[in-house]
A and B are shown apart, each in its own frame.
Chain A
């Protein structure tokens, strides 16, 4: 009896996901985005592309950390030779830094707009263009209606959008599929090695539609995201995969 009810609920949940546009990837087709354990927070365990993600970065330090994570995500989104669009009011991103995260900087097209209204218009136009790898926009605020327009655009074109919210105020409700917050963590250089180690972040998924929010520690090493083992926070020797091999 209990088992039957569980199956029924599972079936209903699957249907709901399907109606909402989360398609179960055929076996073998999923490549993953390289986020490791973070991906399990999403429905079906797949990073939702063709959706809009919201990233909170009120301070420049957080913006830099978010930029690092973004670049890592873009690298796998642009793997197939795509192009991405970066729309902003006042841009500080330094294109050569993208290369360290595996993105070819000359495949990123920057659009500088004068006002917030143009920015959202440009983002919507970009999201409507099928075939773009991603559209990134640095916005201050976005209303529910505006976010719904963007959602409608991505539903038909399957382009992935990222909203970088650089407004310190409380983010309101919107249709974004996930809300992220990335903060820097002290890096761990190898034992006895001076200087700064690989970039390391605290990645918080504050809200995931149909998923499980959570918090992870990630490190960008050897061209991919590596989860940082909790137990090893104090010790150094097993956090670096290169060292594990000996």
Chain B
């Protein structure tokens, strides 16, 4: 799925918050100051102060000279981080993946979230209006990459929502600062006369790398989506992994069993709490000699039953070679799905149906030893051609889409491919009088047929088949067919395709 990111920029974060706290500050020009290098400089200014010419980084004395009635407060150290965390937590309502972009921004991975609020436009509008109505001066943008969203939120002039794959066009008119570059590099770009991204984006990579360094290229790639950007999420998704270091290297099967039980116990406890279950899991053992040994299991349906999963791992224990000893075990649920909670039956039917836990457990054990392809179940398919009349079911829960046909006799055993037989047929289009199969002559005593089955021309080309059900002198029943029409000479192609009960 295509990724979408929203970047939010709180332009006057701390002053907005102060104004919220003290409403009397609403209509005064407000700056926060902090001492730096023997001077007191402005670290934050509200909108009113900025509109009168006070900027961040200016000496407090200068600011006071420009705006005589300026309200000057001391900076609150650590307040920004605290505020950003609080706002990030608040934004979890819009997407679970919120990352803080210090000092004054949030980056949210909103892939697949926007449609819940209608369109992307409604979604972004909802976020921005909610935050603005609280009193924060916020700007936001949405794009395919975090870098482009960041750039448009801060420097964009046209529209905040960049369509999919439109980040290049959106970035071209923006100044180089939109690429989150170091001040040193920005200075150099300024000196060289690169005032917007379009001036240098088309240059050769080697040229850019030599002059501006590797980070410069990385930032460009991240903004354009050529490289992924890791986000430091507020609530990172913990992988389903458990570790068990051993006090001393272990090398017996019993010890490995205990290790697996312990790890499964922990993992399943967590999974059960989240109503999740394992589909595939990998056990890794780090050996003393530096090698890593592993065993993988898979299940038919998500499960967090430690006992069942242990049984699957138990089959794999003989394949684990501890050699000099294993000192660390890790167990990871590589594929985890939601568990479908089974409904308690009021009365249990006699025997277990296709949906029962016991059967799923049995099939998991079989599949882990014999391979997943070894187990199959068949469903009817609407084709007359015998080889195509059944298909393999995808899952245990799949129901037949059509009814099983019973109107035509079908043999108990079907040969995987028809075998040639020699026949003697006296009259065209009549069943044969006798046939020779595997050097044995069978006299046909009774026969039914023919049943003509055509090939489906939209699937394959070839001759049709005329099927006869014949019974020989011992009462053994066969399914024979002639491929194509009777042609008079001995070139008739007769085959045996099955045995009737």
Cβ of B132 < 8 Å from any Cβ of A? no
Which residues of chain B come closer than 8 Å to A183, judged between CB atoms?
474-475
Tell which of B93-101, B190-198, B374-382 binds the partner: B374-382
Identify the stretch in A2-10, A36-44, A111-119 within 8 Å (CB) of chain B at 4 or more residues: A111-119
Known contacts A106-B400, A186-B475: A92-B416 contact under CB 8 Å = yes
A129 and B358: CB pair below 8 A?
Answer: yes
User: How far does the alpha carbon of A61 sit from the alpha carbon of B445 in the complex, in Å?
Assistant: 16
Whether A195 touches B378, Cβ cut-off 8 Å, given contacts A83-B354, A99-B404, is no
Contact of B351 with A187 in the complex, beta carbons under 8 Å: no
A118 near B350 with CB under 8 A, answer no
**CB < 8 Å: which of B352, B404, B474, B500 contacts A131?**
B352
Beta-carbon contact of A81 and B353 below 8 Å: yes
B-contacting 9-mer, from A21-29, A120-128, A139-147, A204-212: A120-128
Give the size category of B's interface with A. 35 or more
Q: Is the CB of A111 within 8 A of B370?
A: yes
In the assembled complex, how far is the CB of residue B470 from the closest CB belonging to chain A, in whole angstroms?
8
Q: Is the CB of B377 within 8 A of A80?
A: no
Give B431's nearest chain A residue, CB to CB: A195
Enumerate chain B residues within 8 angstroms of A225, measured Cβ to Cβ. none
DSSP class of B's interface residues: helix, strand, loop or mixed?
A: mixed
> In whole angstroms, how far apart are the Cα atoms of A93 and B352 in the complex?
23
Q: How many Å lie between the Cα of A61 and that of B412 in the bound state?
A: 10
Q: A97 contacts B412, CB within 8 Å?
A: yes
Residue A50 lies at the interface, judged by CB distance under 8 Å to chain B: no
Answer yes or no: A100 CB below 8 A from chain B CBs.
Answer: yes
A189 part of interface (Cβ distance < 8 Å):
yes
Q: Does B390 contact A (CB under 8 A)?
A: yes
Cβ contact of A110, chosen from B375, B476, B499, cutoff 8 A:
B375
Q: Report the Cα distance A68→B393, complex, angstroms.
A: 24
What does the 1/0 interface line of B352-396 toward A look like (CB < 8 Å)? Answer: 111010110111011001100111111110000010011001000
Tell me which residues across on chain B come within 8 A of A148, comparing CB atoms: none
Query: Nearest Cβ distance between residue B346 and chain A, in whole angstroms?
Result: 15
The contact size tier of chain A is: 35 or more
Chain B nearest CB from A39 CB (Å) reads 20
Contact of B356 with A64 in the complex, beta carbons under 8 Å? no
Query: Nearest chain B CB to A61's CB is how many angstroms away?
Result: 4
A145 to chain B, nearest CB (A): 21
**Do the beta carbons of B377 and A109 come within 8 Å of each other?**
yes
Asked if A185 contacts B475 (CB within 8 A), the reply is yes
A60, A105, A113, A184: the one within 8 Å of B413 (CB): A60
Contact A92 B415 (CB under 8 A): yes
Q: Which has the most chain B C-beta neighbours within 10 Å: A80, A93, A114, A186?
A: A186
Instruction: Report if A19 contacts B (CB, 8 A).
Output: no
Q: Is the interface of A mostly helix, strand, loop or mixed?
A: mixed
Partner of A129, one of B362, B376, B410, B500: B362
B396's nearest neighbour on chain A, judged by CB, is A109
Complex Cα distance, B413 from A60, in Å, reads 8
Whether B475 contacts A126 by the Cβ 8 Å rule is no
Knowing A94-B498, A184-B476 are in contact, say whether A121-B369 is a contact too (CB < 8 A). yes
Chain B residues, CB < 8 A from A133: 351
**Cβ of B414 < 8 Å from any Cβ of A?**
yes
Q: Kindly provide the distance from the CB of A220 to the nearest chain B CB, expressed in whole angstroms.
A: 7
Bound-state Cα–Cα, A69 to B471, Å: 18
Given A64-B477, A121-B369, check contact A108 B377 (CB 8 Å): yes
Whose C-beta in chain B lies nearest to the C-beta of A69? B501
In the complex, the answer to whether B471 meets A106 with C-beta atoms within 8 Å is no
Query: Is B413's CB under 8 angstroms from A64's CB?
Result: yes
Known contacts A94-B411, A185-B475; A80 and B362 CB within 8 A of each other: no
Q: Which of B358, B389, B393, B501 contacts A96 (CB under 8 A)?
A: B389
Q: How far is the CB of B368 from chain A (nearest CB, A)?
A: 11
C-beta contact mask, B339-353 vs A, less than 8 Å → 1, else 0?
A: 000000000011111
Q: Is the CB of B362 within 8 A of A64?
A: no
Q: CB-CB contacts of B388-424 with A at 8 A, as 1s and 0s? A: 0110010000011000111001111111100000000
Closest-by-CB residue of B relative to A96 is B410
Complex formed: what's the CA distance from A105 to B499 in Å? Answer: 18
B448 at the interface (CB under 8 A from A): yes
Given contacts A109-B377, A199-B501, are A93 and B370 in contact (CB under 8 A)? no
Tell whether B469 is near chain A: CB-to-CB under 8 Å. Answer: yes
Known: A105-B378, A118-B369, A186-B445. A64 touches B500 (CB 8 A): yes
The answer to whether A94 and B446 touch across the interface, beta carbons within 8 angstroms, is no
A61 CA to B478 CA, complexed, in Å:
8
| Given A83-B351, A121-B369, residue A97 in contact with residue B501 (CB < 8 A) | yes
With A125-B365, A196-B477, A199-B500 as contacts: A67 and B412 at CB distance below 8 Å: yes
Beta-carbon contact of B369 and A95 below 8 Å = no
Residue A222 at the chain B interface, CB threshold 8 Å: no
Judge if B447 is at the interface, Cβ distance under 8 Å. yes
Contacts of B353 in A (CB 8 A): 81-83
- Is B352 a contact partner of A82 (Cβ separation < 8 A)? yes
Contacts of A226 in B (CB 8 A): none
B446 and A196 within 8 A (CB):
yes
Interface residues of B in 162-212 (CB under 8 A from A): none
Task: Say yes or no: A97-B410 contact (C-beta < 8 A), given A131-B351, A199-B500.
Answer: yes
| Contact status A184-B477, CB under 8 Å | yes
Whole-angstrom distance between the Cβ of A19 and the nearest chain B Cβ? 26
Q: How far is the CA of A131 from the CA of B353 in the complex (A)?
A: 8
**One of A80, A95, A111, A126 near B349 (C-beta < 8 A):** A80
* A53 CB–B CB distance under 8 Å: no
> By the criterion CB–CB under 8 Å, are B446 and A71 in contact?
no
| CA–CA, A101 and B64, complex, Å | 99
Q: Is the CB of A129 within 8 A of B359?
A: yes
A-binding residues in B (CB < 8 A): 349-354, 356, 358-359, 361-363, 365-366, 369-370, 373-380, 386, 389-390, 393, 399-400, 404-406, 409-416, 445-448, 469-471, 473-478, 498-501
Q: Nearest 7 CB-CB pairs, A to B? A: A68-B501, A82-B351, A131-B352, A64-B499, A186-B475, A94-B414, A80-B350
A and B contact pairs by CB, cutoff 8 A, 12 listed: A61-B499, A63-B412, A83-B351, A94-B413, A95-B390, A109-B375, A114-B370, A122-B369, A122-B370, A125-B365, A132-B362, A133-B351
| Apart from the given pairs A64-B413, A96-B404, A186-B471, 4 other A-B contacts in the complex at a CB distance below 8 Å | A92-B416, A93-B413, A94-B386, A106-B404
